[in-house]
Amino acid sequence: MDLSQAIELLKKIVKNNSTNNSNHIDLSLVPADQVGIYEKALKVVRMAIIKGEISQEEFSNRVNLI
């Protein structure tokens, strides 16, 4: 899985927290048999951030967390 694929996958599980009107990634939206794929996507993104391939802010913007 590459970075673009991981971001597209994670976009599907962004949920709004109506309490303070902020978005977050919610793994409870994922069917149990697919959790591993989403966890892998999170790892791909985290490694890309650590390596400097993408900033945390850019990632947040691309998955609509901000």
Rounded to 10°, the helix 35-51/3-11 angle is 130
Q: Are 37 and 45 in contact (CB under 8 A)?
A: no
Domain ranges of the chain: 3-62
Q: 22 — phi, psi (to 5°)? A: -125, 155
Could you tell me the CA-to-CA distances from 36 to 48, 55, 64 in Å, in that order? 18, 24, 22
Q: What is the pTM of this model?
A: 0.89
Query: How far is 66 from 46, CA to CA, in rounded Å?
Result: 17
The predicted-structure confidence for 9-56, as pLDDT tens digits, reads as follows 999 999 998 878 889 999 999 999 999 999 999 999 999 999 999 999
Task: Give the model's pLDDT for residue 66.
Answer: 82
